[in-house]
Structure 1
Amino acid sequence: MWTVPNIITLIRVILIPVFVVVYFLDWRWAHETAAFIFWFAAITDWFDGYLARKLQQSTPFGAFLDPVADKLIVAAALLMITHSYASLWITVPAIILLIREIYVSALREWMGQRGVRERVKVSFIGKAKTTAQMLALIGLLSGLETFMGWPIYWVTLGHLLLYIASVLSLWSMVVYTMAAWRDLSGR
């Protein structure tokens, strides 16, 4: 259980309350620091999977905890940006992303119980959605439009990527549903 990839995943889980508390601190760079912590956690997601494969340290505990850690930190970030921006333009895509995460998780669990989970394994669309979602959240959490006087438009880019992630979420949800349709329809 105490493999390097699992320890990295546990660190990601531990970072969630740290990330949330830092974001809401009354400090000038709180949002930027929280965005950095979120970025670091996102990188550890890739890194723990890579190490699990490279070191052949995949475990049932890691296979369970990794997607849970991902969903927890993303859900926290979505709730935080929804609260901070208090805008329909952020809330609607955030809800779409949360609905998709719950739906696909439930679908995968159900398909796993039927012994056909491989039909709804992670696809390229799902990976593209995750990339767009993570970058959107980093941009929106940071609140940065300029850095040292230079325009960088992180928030603007974050809005755009949030919508791209939402479209990819809906698309991947349809793809996964179609892949599972024969089982869902009882055929």
Structure 2
Amino acid sequence: MPLNLPNILTWLRIGMIPLFIAVFYLPYVWAFPLAAIIFALAGLTDAVDGYLARRLNQQSRFGAFLDPVADKLMVAAALVLLVAEHGGIVLALPAIIIIGREIAISALREWMAEIGERRKVAVSSLGKLKTILQMAAIFALLYYQPILGLPTFEIGIALLYAAALLTLLSMVGYLRAAFGAPPEVGH
């Protein structure tokens, strides 16, 4: 395991998860906004560690493995906390779609790597857009309180459903890339 700045930032992101959970459950009015800020900082470390790994030429197989694991752990923790706090199918359905897709695509990538075809399921631009919407949605849902009079939680719900839709679409794209697109009729 190479110990470099990008990997340290990734480990820091994983280490932020217990802090994030503890803050989320604090019995203070500022707990949700602070949990949202911690979540946003974790997302920022994700962008920074990838940038630094490329910029400093410190990319590693270990970092490539650990980075998405850290992301998925933070997202799954946040979604589980949100469903536990607010309950109901409105949050549970997109949370299950997002977490389920992450598990399925991670397994697909691992399998594709085993057979030497990992490049077929590299991160797509649709997957990146999904991640941006997902992070914005989770931040808004965690923040909970209105910002500039805007209904943050409701905006978060709408963004989460958009992210869940992109989650499904990107999963279809990855599956098609892995297993080949079905032949066109008449060809």
Question: Shared fold (TM-score greater than 0.5)?
Answer: yes
Q: How far apart, in 1, do the equivalents of 2:10 and 2:100 lie?
A: 24
Aligned to 2:141: 140
Aligned to 1:17: 18
Q: How far apart, in 2, do the equivalents of 1:152 and 1:53 lie?
A: 37
Aligned to 2:44: 43
Instruction: Please list every run of at least 4 consecutive aligned residues from structure 1 whose deviation after the TM superposition is greater than 2 angstroms.
Output: none
Q: Tell me by how many angstroms 1:178 deviates.
A: 0.6
Q: Tell me by how many angstroms 1:42 deviates.
A: 0.4
Residue 153 (structure 2) pairs with residue 152 (structure 1): no
Aligned to 2:184: none
Residue 86 (structure 2) pairs with residue 88 (structure 1): no
The residue type equivalent to 2:87 in the other structure is A
Q: Tell me by how many angstroms 1:59 deviates.
A: 1.5
Aligned to 2:63: 62
Aligned to 1:119: 120
Q: CA RMSD in A?
A: 1.2
Q: Tell me by how many angstroms 1:84 deviates.
A: 1.1
Q: Deviations over 1:68-116 (max 9, x none)?
A: 1001000000101111111211100000001100000000000000000
Aligned to 1:177: 175
Aligned to 1:163: 161
Q: Tell me by how many angstroms 1:152 deviates.
A: 2.3
Q: How far apart, in 1, do the equivalents of 2:166 and 2:29 lie?
A: 34
Q: How many residues align?
A: 180
State the identity as a percent: 47
Aligned to 2:98: 97
Q: Tell me by how many angstroms 1:153 deviates.
A: 2.0
The residue type equivalent to 1:138 in the other structure is F
Aligned to 1:185: none
Q: How far apart, in 2, do the equivalents of 1:2 and 1:124 lie?
A: 29
Q: Tell me by how many angstroms 1:181 deviates.
A: 1.2
The residue type equivalent to 1:97 in the other structure is I
Q: Deviations over 1:9-55 (max 9, x none)?
A: 11101000000010001112001000000000001101100000000
Gaps of 5+ in 2: 181-187
With structure 1 as the length reference, what TM-score do the two structures score? Answer: 0.94
The residue type equivalent to 1:37 in the other structure is I
Q: How far apart, in 1, do the equivalents of 2:62 and 2:120 lie?
A: 22
The residue type equivalent to 2:63 in the other structure is G
The residue type equivalent to 1:71 in the other structure is K
Q: How far apart, in 2, do the equivalents of 1:132 and 1:144 lie?
A: 19
Q: How far apart, in 2, do the equivalents of 1:98 and 1:87 lie?
A: 16
Q: Tell me by how many angstroms 1:63 deviates.
A: 1.2
Local SS of the residue matching 1:152 = coil
Gaps of 5+ in 1: 183-187
Q: How far apart, in 1, do the equivalents of 2:119 and 2:130 lie?
A: 19
Aligned to 1:27: 28
Q: How far apart, in 2, do the equivalents of 1:167 and 1:59 lie?
A: 32
With structure 2 as the length reference, what TM-score do the two structures score? Answer: 0.94
